[in-house]
Amino acid sequence: MNTVQEILQKNYKDLLNHNIQTAKIDSEVILANILNTTRINLITKQDITLNKEQEDLFSKLVERRKQKEPVAYILNKKEFWNENYFVDKRVLIPRPETEILIELLLKKIKDKNKAYKVLDLGCGSGCLLISFLKEMRKSQGMGVDISSNALEVAKKNIELHNLNNRAKLMRLDLLTLHTKDKFDVIFSNPPYLSSSDYAKLSDDVKNFEPKQALVGGFNGVLYYKKIITLAQSALKKNGYLALELGDRQYRTISKLLQDHSFRILDKYQLINNEIRCILAAKM
Ligand SMILES: C[S@@+](CC[C@H](N)C(=O)[O-])C[C@H]1O[C@@H](n2cnc3c(N)ncnc32)[C@H](O)[C@@H]1O
């Protein structure tokens, strides 16, 4: 039987040989999870000897990582806005940049006791809707997604976060969606990759994450046209629209927003100068 230090060293090299660039962090996260501890706390456990069950499980999970499966799917867990979410192959793994949508909204909304009605278009795991509702304790919201698989995961997360009474889900195609309801906030991280950008993704993403969550039509802006038109009628006056964008889409989307009576309030730029998140208000 191996100690923590020994098994980490062995598997780290093995993962590197399989071209996993994040070999060190991945093997540590997987082992920390098995030992029910944090990655940082593993440092204090270097000399502990693993039992056979732990070693076997570790080898099994590392084997999956060698096949390029993302760690979040292997562990069925991803942190988003300081909370853990259940994730599996049925949903996109929540990305750190998506948290910016919550940040931009909360920067503008000063009174957290307001009772907002919110709509999440393409809710996936439910991470955006749930994070917002956990911050805004009197608000309620609806998440829609075309994928019944994704909605099953979102439902599980809503239950996990005790939000059954404030979060509803509906299976809908946002491209044909019409609603008479009025909302205070609409957010969306729609599929925004073009087919050619999709083709360039790494195997970790392409072979595991749902394509339907990633590809937004030929040039990637199909969904924004629909979301902005929908938001124009479904948002109350001064209501907020928070959108995540793909690379090189800001000019087109900001023009679309202006043409539909939206005022851009805030935006977030990545280090590569791409604008990734926008917050707009309906005039
Ligand atoms: C980029 S993922 C975002 C998931 C989640 N909101 C997040 O930020 O992690 C886009 C989501 O939109 C959903 N979707 C794709 N096409 C759709 C459509 N026509 N109508 C509704 N939802 C759709 C996908 O199933 C996926 O869950």
In tens, the pLDDT along 174-206 reads 999 999 999 999 999 999 999 889 999 999 999
125 and 256 together in one domain: yes
The verdict on residue 72 lying in a domain is no
91 and 144 together in one domain: yes
Quickly list DSSP for 65-129: HHTT--HHHHHT-EEETTEEE---TTSPPP-GGGHHHHHHHHHH---TT---EEEEES-TTSHHH
110 and 179 together in one domain: yes
61 and 89 together in one domain: no
The verdict on residue 134 lying in a domain is yes
Q: Whose CA is nearest to atom 24 of ligand 1?
A: 213
Indicate whether residue 128 lines ligand 1 (CB < 6 A). Answer: yes
Would you state the pLDDT for residue 43? 87
Indicate whether residue 246 lines ligand 1 (CB < 6 A). Answer: no
15 and 132 together in one domain: no
Mean pLDDT of the chain: 95
Which tens digits make up the pLDDT trace of 24-65?
A: 999 999 999 999 999 999 989 999 999 999 999 999 999 999
Percent over 70 (pLDDT), the chain: 100
The verdict on residue 270 lying in a domain is yes
55 and 16 together in one domain: yes
What's the mean pLDDT in 60-87?
A: 97
99 and 220 together in one domain: yes
The verdict on residue 111 lying in a domain is yes
Indicate whether residue 186 lines ligand 1 (CB < 6 A). Answer: no
The structure's pTM equals 0.95
What's the mean pLDDT in 8-35?
A: 94
278 and 151 together in one domain: yes
Indicate whether residue 143 lines ligand 1 (CB < 6 A). Answer: no
Which tens digits make up the pLDDT trace of 226-280?
A: 999 999 999 999 999 999 999 999 999 999 999 999 999 999 998 888 999 999 9
The verdict on residue 92 lying in a domain is yes
Quickly list DSSP for 194-209: -HHHHHTS-HHHHTTS
Domain's final residue, options 67, 87, 119: 67
The verdict on residue 214 lying in a domain is yes
Q: What domain count does the chain have?
A: 2
What's the mean pLDDT in 76-101?
A: 97
Burial of 177 (0-12, 13-18, 19+ CB in 10 A): middle
116 and 245 together in one domain: yes
If one residue of 95, 123, 249 were mutated to test the ligand 1 pocket, choosing by the most ligand atoms within 8 A of its CB, it would be 123
Indicate whether residue 129 lines ligand 1 (CB < 6 A). Answer: no
CA distances from 241 to 209, 262, 264, 271 (A): 26, 9, 9, 23
Q: Which domain holds residue 192?
A: 78-282
Which tens digits make up the pLDDT trace of 110-135?
A: 899 999 999 999 999 999 999 999 99
Q: Whose CA is nearest to atom 14 of ligand 1?
A: 122
130 and 182 together in one domain: yes
CATH code assigned at 225: 3.40.50.150
What's the mean pLDDT in 100-111?
A: 96
In this model, does residue 221 exceed pLDDT 90?
no
The verdict on residue 73 lying in a domain is no
The verdict on residue 126 lying in a domain is yes
CA of 98 to the centre of ligand 1 (A): 13
224 and 90 together in one domain: yes
Domain's final residue, options 67, 97, 117: 67
CA of 106 to the centre of ligand 1 (A): 22
19 and 98 together in one domain: no
